[in-house]
Amino acid sequence: MGRHCPAGSIVVSRYLAWLGVNCRVFNVGEYRRKLVGAKLDHSFFDPHNAAAVDQRLQCAVSALQDMLRWFEAVHSGVAIYDATNSTRSRRKKILDECTRHGVEVMFCESWCDDSELVEANIREVKRTSPDYAGVQDLASVMEDFRRRINHYSEVYEPVGGDGTRPLAKGSYPLPPASPTIEEYDERLVSYVRKINVGSQMVINRITSYLESRIVYFVMNIHIAPRSVLFSRHGESMYNLDQRLGGDP
């Protein structure tokens, strides 16, 4: 779900690069801005807007195809497919296509329903998102993004859930999901859910070393600024003797 720390995928990719892992981020939002444009209001993300749904799907498919071509070229590494992927049907498509190409999948969801954290996230979006570049009216940006979140909430199905839509408030029904989705059991899929910036973590079927390192890092990501203090002890007797270790 899209209520997550801005640039979280970039932070994870930098951590993986630090570990020596070949990593690349495929951000579907960047594909959308390239293929459709950046100056789009919340109505583009309305799940009842059939034309926009098709356009967003094309952007998602384009990013996925590029990701799979990247895997074919490098043969190993970690690709971060950065998108909301807020429905089971979308995640099933990703899983099916990756499995067909021999790519292992782990879903990472960051969910937040803390109103203060969500508002802080929206303000950060205003500052950093290319979607609102040049817009000076903070109130209009925040209102537009709140409506975008509401559109996602209409179809949101939690990772590992049974397909229910706990936040749907629409006055008219959405198109039915594909019948084959009933065969898709996300309890059998590797995933991690970070809820309210780490107040709760749900970890499911994490089996490999690299998956566990990613989960550990995700558990320790902080979105709020904080101070880091370093302290150096005073001179010791061993320092004077140019010796290492010990207490004197």
pLDDT digits (tens, 9 = 90+) for 104-114: 999 999 988 88
Q: For 25, phi and psi rounded to 5 degrees?
A: -100, 135
In the structure encoding, which two tokens stand for residue 98, read together?
């990756």
Q: What is the pLDDT of residue 118?
A: 86
Of the CA atoms within 13 Å of residue 205, those in its CB half-sphere come to 14
pTM (predicted TM-score): 0.84
Q: What is the pLDDT of residue 115?
A: 87
If we measure between CA atoms, which residue out of 141, 173, 181 comes closest to residue 154?
173
Chain centroid to CA 144: how far? 20
The stretch 159-180 carries a mean pLDDT of: 64
In the structure encoding, which two tokens stand for residue 68, read together?
């799979």
Q: For 14-72, give the DSSP string.
A: HHHHHTT--EEEEEHHHHHHHHT-S---GGGG-TT-HHHHHHHHHHHHHHHHHHHHHHH
Chain centroid to CA 216: how far? 15
Three-state secondary-structure class, residue 201: strand
Give the separation between CA 88 and CA 228, rounded to whole angstroms.
Answer: 40
**Band of the pLDDT at 123, cuts 50, 70, 90?**
confident
Amino acid present at 18: W
Q: What is the pLDDT of residue 2?
A: 37
Q: 66 and 26 in contact (C-beta within 8 Å)?
A: yes
| Residue 139 in this model has a pLDDT that exceeds 80 | yes
Q: 6 and 128 in contact (C-beta within 8 Å)?
A: yes
In the structure encoding, which two tokens stand for residue 120, read together?
């802080």
| Residue 157 in this model has a pLDDT that exceeds 80 | yes
Measured over all CA atoms, what is the biggest interatomic distance in the chain, rounded to whole angstroms? 80
| Residue 94 in this model has a pLDDT that exceeds 90 | yes
